[in-house]
């Protein structure tokens, strides 16, 4: 069975698919994709470039012939991987860049084997148009924004609260100068895709918990509407004792290496007193990471933190479980 499905129907049935296949090249897939999709490419990176070149410089017919030969060879390899991922008869969705030859070719082969195949009309381009439009017009308004100094445990609270959005997890960044310790961030498009699906899962009838962030999280830029709605939300400041904050920072940056440390220290030079910076570096050389963390918290992070003028509430977070209860009692 083979059917074409539009973006709206695809999203409505998203959770029903046993498998979602991205038929684009590995490089296109690695840059951004529909969440949960696996890459069974019609053309690999080199083949995709070659076919595009033939199409533009020689002829459309020759590009189709050459492309078809590559797709047949790749499909032959993917058939066994597909069977490993899901049994024949499963409901699968497939897309390429624009819903054209690449997804159509694989969809035809897979459907003839016995899979129930739904080819995404307009492909990834159509999906992205939906994402962009939604992020510019989403209806979510009832935000409860957790703010506070670095190390107060805001991220842990967000992760424990239901109906919440963990922006730092979506952006794979801790939201500070040292935040890139998490590794490579997703592309802007990939972040938007993740955020889009997260917003779709949110219950609009309940408060939406989110951590107060800057407009930029590492290299990721928050959508204008989301940033504005966060600014309009109820602000709850989270506090914690300095000893607890130091322990939290130590757990986040336990695997820090010399190159990363000195790189970040150079970046914060304009925002930290010379004496404090030199003391932090000396303590780092001595292996006293606890002292380094305390210096950075008091002389850098707290110094640059800008508390908003209007705060709905202030909650001391000495224990995650009790803090969650306080938040739920007041805002649920």
pLDDT beyond 90 at 16: yes
Strands (E), 164-278: 164-165, 208-211, 216-217, 220-221, 234-239
Could you report the per-residue pLDDT of 144-177, keeping only the tens digit for each?
Answer: 999 999 999 999 999 999 999 999 999 999 888 8
Torsion-angle region of 122 (φ positive above 0: left; ψ -120 to 50: alpha; else: beta) = left
Q: Which pLDDT band, with edges at 50, 70 and 90, does 221 fall under?
A: very high
All structural domains of the chain: 2-133 (3.40.250.10), 138-331 (3.40.50)
Please give the positions annotated as active site: 96
- CA distances from residue 246 to 5, 152, 220, 243, 306 in whole angstroms, order as listed: 52, 9, 27, 5, 20
The pLDDT of residue 289 is 93
Could you report the per-residue pLDDT of 275-307, keeping only the tens digit for each?
Answer: 999 999 999 999 999 999 999 999 999 999 988
Q: Which pLDDT band, with edges at 50, 70 and 90, does 180 fall under?
A: confident
The pLDDT of residue 307 is 86
The pLDDT of residue 255 is 80
Q: Which pLDDT band, with edges at 50, 70 and 90, does 254 fall under?
A: confident
Please check whether residue 200 is in contact with residue 163, taking contact to mean a CB–CB distance below 8 angstroms.
no
The pLDDT of residue 323 is 96
The pLDDT of residue 251 is 87
The pLDDT of residue 175 is 85
């Amino acid at each position: 069975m083979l059917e074409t499905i539009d973006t709206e129907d695809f999203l409505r049935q998203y959770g029903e698919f046993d498998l979602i296949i991205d038929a684009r090249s590995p490089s296109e897939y690695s840059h951004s994709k529909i969440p949960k999709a696996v890459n069974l490419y019609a053309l690999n990176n080199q083949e995709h470039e070659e076919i595009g070149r033939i199409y533009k410089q020689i002829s459309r017919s020759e590009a189709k012939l050459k492309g078809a030969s590559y797709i047949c060879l790749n499909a032959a390899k993917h058939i066994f991987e597909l069977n490993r991922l899901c049994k024949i008869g499963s409901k699968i969705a497939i897309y390429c860049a624009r819903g054209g030859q690449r997804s159509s070719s694989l969809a035809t082969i897979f459907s003839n084997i016995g899979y129930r195949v739904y080819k995404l009309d307009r492909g990834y381009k159509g999906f992205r148009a939906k994402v962009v439009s939604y992020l510019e017009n989403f209806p979510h308004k009832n935000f409860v924004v957790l703010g506070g100094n670095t190390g107060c445990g805001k991220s842990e609270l967000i992760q424990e609260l239901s109906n919440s959005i963990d922006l730092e997890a979506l952006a794979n960044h801790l939201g500070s100068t040292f935040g890139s310790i998490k590794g490579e961030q997703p592309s802007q498009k990939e972040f938007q895709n993740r955020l889009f699906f997260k917003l779709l899962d949110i219950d609009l009838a309940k408060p939406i918990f989110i951590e107060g962030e800057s407009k930029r999280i590492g290299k990721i830029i928050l959508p204008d509407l989301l940033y504005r709605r966060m600014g309009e939300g109820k602000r709850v400041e989270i506090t914690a004792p300095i000893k607890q904050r130091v322990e939290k920072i130590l757990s986040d940056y336990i695997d820090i290496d010399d190159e990363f440390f000195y790189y970040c220290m150079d970046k914060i030079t304009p925002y930290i007193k010379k004496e404090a910076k030199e003391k932090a570096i000396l303590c780092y050389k001595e292996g006293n990471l606890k002292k380094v963390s305390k210096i950075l918290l008091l002389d850098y992070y707290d110094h640059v933190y800008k508390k908003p003028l209007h705060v709905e509430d202030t909650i001391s977070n000495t224990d995650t479980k009790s803090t969650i209860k306080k938040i739920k009692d007041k805002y649920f």
